Amino acid sequence: MADIGSAEAFSFRERPTPVPGDLRIRWRVALLLLLLMSSRGKKASLAKLYVLSDSVQSAEAQSDLVAILHHQRSELTWRLRVEPALARALDLMVGDKLADWTTVSDRVGVCLTPKGVAAAKAVDEWEDVLAEQKAALEAVRSAITEAFVTRLISAKA
């Protein structure tokens, strides 16, 4: 057996594990508040939230969605990512009375409560919070309707 020296030479300390921003629940809740606030009637189907959330998280995803909107790419090229972090954030929002479950275009969705609207306005007023996501959302929000989402997720070859 190799001699590793005295036990006094070693120390172990627990270090925090970095968590990517998109998995941080506060970040996700703030983003969902903005997404819902920008949606018609301050409500959206889960499908629409997944599309919007995915599109504002990277320049590549936003570019892909804009190309589909302008008919430069087929709707078949969009890959809907279902993120467990988004579902957890929605559950917390409903639990905190920021949102309620509802039906939107015959699909499960959520709508902001008055408390959620106030929280969304507060997030929107902070200029340096989610600045990139706000800009990306502004570029596509009026074109991402429930009808568009239905076409996007049911596209066929």
Domain count, the chain: 1
In what helix (H) or strand (E) does residue 84 lie, and over which residues does it extend?
helix 84-95
Q: Which of 5-19, 33-47, 59-73, 105-119 has the lowest mean pLDDT?
A: 5-19
What pLDDT score was predicted for residue 150? 92
Q: Which two tokens stand for residue 132?
A: 């990139």
DSSP-assigned letter for residue 128: T
Residue 21 confidence (pLDDT) above 70: no
Q: 48 with 149: CB under 8 angstroms?
A: yes
* pLDDT value at residue 104: 95
Phi/psi of residue 146, each to 5°? -65, -35
Q: For residue 103, tell me if it sits in a domain.
A: yes
In angstroms, the CA 96 to CA 102 distance is: 16
Residue 34 belongs to domain spanning: 22-153
pLDDT cut 70: percent of the chain above it = 90
pLDDT at 108: 95
Residue 5 lies in a domain: no
Burial bucket for residue 139 (CB in 10 Å: 0-12, 13-18, 19+): middle
**In a domain? residue 59:** yes
**Mean pLDDT (whole number) for 139-144:** 89
User: How many whole angstroms separate alpha carbon 96 and alpha carbon 106?
Assistant: 25
| Domain membership flag for residue 110 | yes
> In this structure, is residue 13 part of a structural domain?
no
Is there a domain that residue 17 lies in? no
Domain-embedded: residue 136: yes
pTM: 0.83
Strand partners, 37: none
Which carries the bigger pLDDT value, residue 17 or residue 21?
17
